[in-house]
Amino acid sequence: MILRERAVYIDQKLNDLYPNPPIPLDHKDPFTLLISVLLSAQCTDARVNLITPALFRLADNPLTMAQKKVDEINSIVRPCGLAPRKAKAIRELSSILIEKHEGSVPKSFDELEQLPGVGHKTASVVMSQAFDYPAFPVDTHIHRLAQRWKLTNGKNVTQTEKDLKRHFPQNRWNKLHLQIIYYAREHCPAHACHGLKCEICRSCFPQRKNKVITKKA
C-alpha cells in the first residue's frame, strides 16, 4: 500500500474496531481530567484510575486542592511516580486556576501550557477530551505505531503529531488518537508484534520480514 492507501485503511479499520472509544482516565469534569492526565506521565492509566478516587475525595476542585498541603497530595499520588514534582504541580496549578482563571480550566493551548506540570501533550488531551477541540495528542503508543505503520519517521513526537494531522482529516483526530491507543495496547504492544504480527501491520506490510525498531518519544 502507498501512504495514502495505508492511512485510509488504518482509519477505517480502527473505526470498525473501536467505534466509540471511551476516555481511559476516569474523571467528572475538566479539572479532574487535567489532574488525571498530569498524573499519567510515566504512569499507566490503570494505576492513575486506582489513585484518583482517593485524591478527589481529598479535593476535586481547584479551590479545595489549593488549600491542601503538598505533602497531603504527595502521600496519595506517590504510586504514580515522580510524585513530589506532580504533587507540587497539582497544588500550584490549582492556585493559578483560582487566581487567574476564576477557578476554571482554561480552554486554550497557551494558557494550559503555562500551568505547572502541563506540557503540550497534556494540554492536547484536555483540549480534545474536555473541550472537544480538534487535537492529536501523541503518547508513546501513538508514536510507536505511527512508526510501525510508516506514517512518520519517528524523529520526535512533535514531528509525529504534524505527520498524523496531515494524514488524517481533522474531524477524526479526537477519536482516532484514542482508537490508536486502544489498538496499541490490545494488538500491537511495545514488546510484541514489532510491526510483523498484528492485523494492521500484516495488512499494510505483507512483505515485511524484519522487526521494526522504533525510536522512543
Residues known to be catalytic: 121, 139
> Cell numbers at residue 129, please?
477530551
Alpha carbons 57 and 117: distance in angstroms, whole number: 21
Q: Which long-range contacts (CB under 8 A, 24 or more apart) does 119-123 make?
A: 120/158, 121/157, 122/34, 122/37, 122/38, 122/41
At 112 the three-state DSSP class reads: helix
38 touches 118 (CB < 8 A):
yes
212 touches 147 (CB < 8 A):
yes
Alpha carbons 6 and 8: distance in angstroms, whole number: 5
Which amino acid, one-letter code, is at 114?
A: Q
Alpha carbons 9 and 6: distance in angstroms, whole number: 5
